[in-house]
Amino acid sequence: MQKEDNKNGTEKKIQPISPEILNNEFFEHSAHIIDDYGFEINKEEDVKKDPWFKENFSVIKRYAEEGNIDFQYNIALMYENGWGVKQNYAEAFKWYRCAAEKGHSESQFALGLCLYWSKGVTTDLKEAFLWFSKAAENDYNPAFFCLGLMYDEGAGVEKNEIEAEKWYRKAAERGHIGAQINLAILLASGKDITHNYKEALNWLYKADKEDCPQASYNIGYIYEEGIGLEKNDNEAAKWYNRAAELGHFNAQFAIGQMYAEGRGVEKDAYTAVKWLKPFADQGNEEAQKILNQLRETGEYIEHYDEETLKGFIFSAEHNNHEMQCKMGYIYEYGRGVEKNEVEAVKWYRMAAEQGYAEGQYKLGNMYWSGKGVEHNDFEALKWHKKAAEQGHKAAFESLCNEYLWLNIEPDFEECKKVWPYNGILNGKNG
């Protein structure tokens, strides 16, 4: 199955509940031992802490071997999760099948999950669909959702949005949050069913009442994009903020952008940084670009105490190129020290002359703007070219623009491929 990777939070789009939720379905039904025998565990945390399983494993297994389907199901749970016994997916699969074949609905559902996720057996989506169907025939609500998901994805069965809607709706009406969200997505954006935007939003509101961040995020997206209703950035920001507080990565990025732009909320650089800095720290270029813009415009000022600055200087003086650039930035904008552009140039040059691309880019900027050093177009070109040759994107863009601005023949081949130099250099630019 295709799996989305949205950890960087930059791909903003409506988001259904993905197949990964099936890994979490067990605890909607599984963490219990049959009351008839006097055993009861209700929460995952209790299961993991309770020594009862290890002490009574042999008793439970004996009942299972005697054919008791409830104990067959529970011994399978123990093998799958490593409760009181070494984790063993193959044994879990064996015992789930024993109970499933006798009509035990939870086991039928669990067997479907094993087949879906290759737990103790090779993936077989068609057979997984079969067992989910059997569990659904026994009126087991999580199986309704799984059937909807498989019809929606075309996994193990031909894709059919009408069937997906039917099964999602059955589960949604019984309170299944994942089904409520995916039903809403179908109603808002499905290809083969009649759209009903009002009902879609209502299902998302229902899911949101259970503090589901995916629901809050999707409501925000619908308002931002104007899906079936008028665009409303204020509402979008409200719902993105709620989803962000609940831990939704894409929502955190989205609300960070909105605070940076002052769209739907009052512009607040510090709140934008709060949400975007984790993404920037993980290498997200879009987040880094936004934060750099906020710093360079002076909307966001980082303050450093004396001890921190001493540490920065020590690292910079010992050839930490990244820290040399940081010291350049601190002096260029007066972050925790008195602003000193000449001192900034010194630090940027230190990094640049040792081949550090960011230092070369920053030094080129100083020459181009005449900050801390006498303005010199050709020194700017020289340093930007050095950085561009190392793949520095911002330096490349600056270099191309500088060639155009100065109306000179570029000596960097990559720039020739991007810009219409021939027309400009031959006087055809009007």
> Quick one: pLDDT at residue 429?
36
Tokens, residue 282? 């993980």
Tokens, residue 83? 């409760």
- How many Å apart are CA 397 and CA 426, to the nearest integer? 22
Interval 110-160: pLDDT, tens: 999 999 999 999 999 999 999 999 999 999 999 999 999 999 999 999 999
- How many Å apart are CA 224 and CA 228, to the nearest integer? 11
| Beta carbons within 10 angstroms of residue 408's beta carbon | 15
SS3 label, residue 112:
helix
pTM: 0.66
> Quick one: pLDDT at residue 417?
62
CATH ID of 306-425, from 3.90.1310.10, 1.10.260.30, 1.25.40.10, 3.90.1150.10: 1.25.40.10
Interval 265-298: pLDDT, tens: 999 888 999 999 999 999 999 999 999 888 877 6
- How many Å apart are CA 219 and CA 224, to the nearest integer? 9
- How many Å apart are CA 23 and CA 13, to the nearest integer? 23
> Quick one: pLDDT at residue 415?
67
Taking alpha carbons only, the member of 76, 127, 73 closest to residue 105 is 73
Which amino acid is located at 11 in the chain? Answer: E
What's the burial of 13, exposed, middle or buried (CB within 10 Å: 0-12/13-18/19+)? exposed
**What is the Cβ-side half-sphere exposure of residue 271, based on CA atoms within 13 angstroms?**
18
Cα–chain center distance at 398? 31
φ, ψ for residue 384 (rounded to 5)? Answer: -65, -35
Residue-averaged pLDDT of the chain: 85
- Stretches where the chain sits below pLDDT 50 are 1-9, 19-46, 49, 419, 421-430
> Quick one: pLDDT at residue 338?
85
| Beta carbons within 10 angstroms of residue 303's beta carbon | 8
Let me know the angle formed at the C-alpha of 254 by 252 and 259, rounded to the nearest 5 degrees. 95
Buried b (16+ CB within 10 A) or exposed e, 221-253: bbbbeebbeeebbebbbbbbbbbbebebbbbbb
> Quick one: pLDDT at residue 38?
35
% helix, strand, coil for the chain, step of 5: 65, 0, 35
262: alpha, beta or left? (left if phi > 0; alpha if psi -120 to 50): left
- How many Å apart are CA 241 and CA 346, to the nearest integer? 42
> Quick one: pLDDT at residue 14?
56
Tokens, residue 375? 């303005």
- How many Å apart are CA 418 and CA 401, to the nearest integer? 11
Given this structure, which CATH class describes domain 211-300? mainly alpha
Buried b (16+ CB within 10 A) or exposed e, 41-54: beeeeebeeeebbe
Q: Angle of helix 141-153 relative to helix 125-137, nearest 10 degrees?
A: 140
> Quick one: pLDDT at residue 282?
92
Name the segment(s) of the chain with CATH classification 1.25.40.10.
15-193, 211-300, 306-425
Taking alpha carbons only, the member of 297, 310, 299 closest to residue 268 is 299
CATH (residue range 15-193)? 1.25.40.10
